[in-house]
Amino acid sequence: MGSYLLLSTSSISYNYKEAVVNLVPVLNEGQWTIEDNYNVTLKREPITIDKKFDDSTGREDDDTNQYQVGDVVPYVIDSQIPQWAEGSTNRELYVGDTMCDGLTLDTSSIKVYGVSSGGRKTLLSAGTDYTLNTTDAKHPESSTPMTFLITFTKTFLDKQQYPSISVTYSATVNENAVVGELGNENDARIVWRDPDGNWRENTDKVKVYTYGIDVSKVDGNKQPLAGAEFYLTDEDGTEIQFIKIGDGQYRVAKASEGGANKTLVVSSQGKLDLKGLAAGTYTLYESKTPEGYNPISPIEVVIKATESQGEYTGHVQGEQSGKIGYVPVEVVNNKGFVLPTTGGMGTALFTAAGVVVIACGVGALYALRKRDDRA
């Protein structure tokens, strides 16, 4: 008889709660007896990892995975901590991330927190609670390269003070960011040893999407037209700076990047490929019109990302086969006479000419009347 505490000494992907079983006699038909068997259910929680965009940073829009080259992307990793049995010698815990070439980690942004059962976060101390590797980080079991790896110390794990941890950090979308459904991925993981010494891990990943504009410059007969130049502005009217990467090909420039320019020159085939843009509304202005053709009015271009089951896919509305993630825009220049723009120099010239013609007419009429009076 008595009360007993049951603890799980081996788990794979769960933290099991302790359970208490009471072996006490019960009165059964006048006799005190103890049951031969007791069924005990251990409650458990999965050891999961949740990688997401950090919405506590004040980013105003809802499309938190749609970014432009040069934008800073805030991340957060939330994960449970495995609970080892008292006296366990296999306490090892690692958290890290592997980023694609289109993202550049800001190593100074990494912060690690212990999270209480009530959700309160406490900033942990580097060196005391964990060590951080951002130069030659490798997966603790497979030794495959990682962007960064956090190794929790034995002192921290022995305390078992926190049921979970939280890691915040940021990365910048760089010049290698790709457009389309592949996205720019990073893969977070938690790796640990179970009480039997076996390696266990869980992963979660997110994607950053960037988009593009595919401009076709043609004449009235839909034939390619060279010799045009453009510039692009965002919703606030700010001119976007680009880096030329090929004939008629440009990507959004990073902040203070050398060689950046707003001027976009179409290729010899009348094509303009702009990439590295976030979803949103833009305006395309023609700054130079092909010789012999009429200028055009500014064109509004809307990049609207599409979703599937609540997740962005890297596709945009109106895209054409073979140009996933690009909004197609056809710009037509026609030949022929065009009236001067209202308020321009042409208006002044036409007004002056009209005044002269009217004055001449009035003068001629006055002369005729004067001659008639003399007659």
Query: Does pTM surpass 0.75?
Result: yes
CA-CA distance, 116 to 159, in Å (whole number)?
A: 13
Query: In this structure, are residues 79 and 115 in contact, taking their beta carbons and an 8 Å threshold?
Result: no
pLDDT exceeds cutoff 60 at 143: yes
Biggest CA pair distance of the chain: 153
Confidence of residue 38 (pLDDT cuts 50, 70, 90): confident
Instruction: Tell me the C-alpha to C-alpha distance, in Å, between residue 54 and each of 117, 149, 172.
Output: 21, 19, 14
Topology agreement, domain 47-208 and domain 211-333: yes
For residue 79, what pLDDT is reported?
Answer: 93
Q: What percent of the chain has pLDDT over 70?
A: 82
Between residues 54 and 332, which one has the greater pLDDT?
A: 332
For residue 344, what pLDDT is reported?
Answer: 45
What confidence tens digit (pLDDT) does each residue in 293-331 have? 999 999 999 999 999 888 889 999 999 988 999 999 999
pLDDT exceeds cutoff 80 at 369: no
> Taking residues 241-247, what's their average pLDDT?
97
Domain regions of the chain by residue span: 2-44, 47-208, 211-333
DSSP state for residue 356 in the 8-state scheme: H
- Among 43, 108, 115, which residue's Cα sits nearest to residue 79? 115
Instruction: Tell me the C-alpha to C-alpha distance, in Å, between residue 7 and each of 24, 81, 148.
Output: 20, 16, 34
For residue 343, what pLDDT is reported?
Answer: 44
Q: CA angle 159-199-89, nearest 5°?
A: 40
pLDDT exceeds cutoff 80 at 114: yes
pLDDT exceeds cutoff 50 at 127: yes
Tokens 């251990």: give the residue.
42
Between residues 117 and 232, which one has the greater pLDDT?
A: 232
CA-CA distance, 251 to 260, in Å (whole number)?
A: 10
Class in CATH terms, 211-333: mainly beta
Tokens 């929790």: give the residue.
152
> Taking residues 327-345, what's their average pLDDT?
71
345 — phi, psi (to 5°)? -65, -35
pLDDT exceeds cutoff 50 at 16: yes
- Cα Rg of the chain (Å, integer): 35
- CATH code of domain 47-208: 2.60.40.740
pLDDT exceeds cutoff 50 at 197: yes
> Taking residues 347-375, what's their average pLDDT?
54
Confidence of residue 174 (pLDDT cuts 50, 70, 90): very high
For residue 13, what pLDDT is reported?
Answer: 57
Q: Between the CA atoms of 145, 197, 16 and 80, what dihedral angle is there, to the nearest 10 degrees?
A: -20
Confidence of residue 202 (pLDDT cuts 50, 70, 90): very high
Residues 6+ apart with CB under 8 A from 223: none
Chain mean pLDDT for the chain: 86
pLDDT exceeds cutoff 50 at 31: yes
pLDDT exceeds cutoff 80 at 53: yes
CA-CA distance, 8 to 12, in Å (whole number)?
A: 11
- Among 366, 374, 279, 364, which residue's Cα sits nearest to residue 327? 279
